[in-house]
Amino acid sequence: MPSPVAIDTPGGATVHDVARLAGVSAMTVSRVINGRASVSAATRGKVDAAIAALRYQPNLAARAARTGTLRIGLLYSNPSAAYMSEFLVGAMEQCSQSGGQLLLERCGDLASQRAAIKKLVAAGVDGILVPPPLCDSPEVQAQLNRIGMPSIAVATGQPSPAISAVRIDDYQGALAMTRHLLALGHRDIGFIQGDPAHTPALLRQQAFLDAMHEAGLSVPPQRLAQGLFTYRSGLDAARRLLEASTRPSAIFASNDDMAAATLAVAHGMGLQVPQQLSVCGFDDTPVATTVWPELTTIHQPIAAMARAAVALVLDEIRQRRAGDSAPATHRLLEFTLMVRGSSAAPGS
């Protein structure tokens, strides 16, 4: 099967115009537009910038008639609306650029997961994206393997060798956050755990414990509070930590929703943040910059991860259709420590 090409909108900028401005070939522009994974991030950035500058619009209808629109299923069961909002933006942007169509199916327990996959297959999807926490479900992976469906696990802490994946290094991210608090002078730090069924939650907790041990500090059991990545669970966990006979000087929550809940509990108790309590999160979802003070957090490029996942699954689908082997691909994206107003030295 020939590689899909970009088709120009009559009267507007052409693929060749974009190629000249970006300093690349027309075929490279087509690969970017079609979401091929064989283009470097730097080149992809140049092409995207040229497309934006020229307001180039590929004729998706003509391309779909030529190549056939690829349908991508999105199987989700994430308790964080902020996370899913970021993920959907990235996935829809990449599908729009690549001429793909995104079909969403929500599920909960094991029975609904099986039913959701069957529904997506019946709808004619060519591949499926599996964001957290379903990316860590052995049952979901087994079902997708049985039917031979191209799939991408997103944000799993333990990617399977048999399934393509896009992720960040959650362990190193949590290590960087804990070291940030230690560098500020905090020695008594509370930690709100994430959903234990989600591997990144376990990696973040282990990194916290390792960083504390590295600093010669022990973590008593009462400084660990179980959360489930939801705002409500964050409220309960924060109360357990802050209503103790002695309060920690900082709390590191495994995601931004639970960190935002911690801020709410602290404000309700009359605590000043960050003067009396530093609060940090993980993910850098929109909630991190809508609360006060804004959250110090680890930026996980959720939208970029979704775009990469769509590009990977489209590439795998096209390779299979061309009769080529499509080995699993694992992409590791960079995280960033975002230092904002919610963290400071103790008693500053």
Q: 188 with 315: CB under 8 angstroms? A: no
Distance CA 132, CA 302 (A): 11
> What pLDDT score does 35 carry?
58
The verdict on 182 and 282 lying in the same domain is yes
Please state, as a whole number, how many other Cβ atoms lie within 10 Å of the Cβ of residue 320: 16
DSSP-assigned beta bridge partners for residue 123 = none
pTM for this predicted structure: 0.78
Tokens at 323, concatenated = 């009769």
> What pLDDT score does 36 carry?
61
The verdict on 62 and 205 lying in the same domain is no
**pLDDT tens string 38-87:** 678 788 888 888 888 887 866 544 444 444 578 899 988 877 888 888 99
Residue 342 maps to a domain: no
The verdict on 273 and 331 lying in the same domain is no
**pLDDT tens string 202-227:** 999 999 999 999 999 999 999 999 99
Residue 190 maps to a domain: yes
Q: 167 with 157: CB under 8 angstroms? A: yes
Mean pLDDT of 321-348: 90
Residue 34 maps to a domain: yes
Residue for token pair 């082997």: 325
**pLDDT tens string 81-116:** 888 889 999 999 998 888 788 999 888 777 888 888
The verdict on 178 and 295 lying in the same domain is yes
Mean pLDDT of 238-253: 97
Mean pLDDT of 221-244: 97
The verdict on 181 and 293 lying in the same domain is yes
Residue 345 maps to a domain: no
Query: Pick from 53, 68, 83: which residue ends a domain?
Result: 68
Pairing label, strands 71-76, 101-106:
parallel
The verdict on 125 and 145 lying in the same domain is yes
Three-state SS for 338? strand
- CATH number, domain with residue 194: 3.40.50.2300
The verdict on 229 and 269 lying in the same domain is yes
The percent of residues above 90 in pLDDT, for the chain, comes to 54
The verdict on 175 and 294 lying in the same domain is yes
Domain count across the chain: 3
Distance CA 21, CA 17 (A): 6
Distance CA 293, CA 341 (A): 5
Residue 35 maps to a domain: yes
DSSP-assigned beta bridge partners for residue 58 = 8
- Flag whether pLDDT at 347 surpasses 70: yes
SS3 of 35-94: the string is: CCCCCCHHHHHHHHHHHHHHCCCECHHHHHHHHCCCEEEEEECCCCHHHHHHHHHHHHHH
> What pLDDT score does 5 carry?
43
Query: Pick from 51, 68, 85: which residue ends a domain?
Result: 68
Three-state SS for 223? helix
Residue 344 maps to a domain: no
- CATH number, domain with residue 1: 1.10.260.40
> 80 or 157: whose pLDDT is higher?
157
Distance CA 229, CA 216 (A): 29
Q: 290 with 71: CB under 8 angstroms? A: no
The verdict on 198 and 254 lying in the same domain is yes
Distance CA 122, CA 128 (A): 13
Please state, as a whole number, how many other Cβ atoms lie within 10 Å of the Cβ of residue 289: 14
The verdict on 182 and 284 lying in the same domain is yes
Distance CA 280, CA 147 (A): 42
- Which run of H or of E encompasses 191? strand 189-193
DSSP-assigned beta bridge partners for residue 153 = 130, 165
Residue 347 maps to a domain: no
Spacing of C-alpha 145 from chain mean position: 23
- Flag whether pLDDT at 11 surpasses 60: no
Helix axes 26-33, 41-54, angle to 10 degrees: 90
Mean pLDDT of 223-237: 97
Query: Pick from 52, 68, 84: which residue ends a domain?
Result: 68
> What pLDDT score does 9 carry?
47
The verdict on 5 and 95 lying in the same domain is no
> 185 or 348: whose pLDDT is higher?
185
Nearest in space to 148 (alpha carbons), one of 119, 123, 117, 108 = 117
The verdict on 175 and 271 lying in the same domain is yes
Tokens at 256, concatenated = 């931004």
Residue 153 maps to a domain: yes
Bond before 274 cis per omega within 30 degrees: yes
- Burial (Cβ within 10 Å: 0-12, 13-18, ≥19) of residue 186: buried
> What pLDDT score does 172 carry?
98
- Structural domain harbouring 206: 170-299
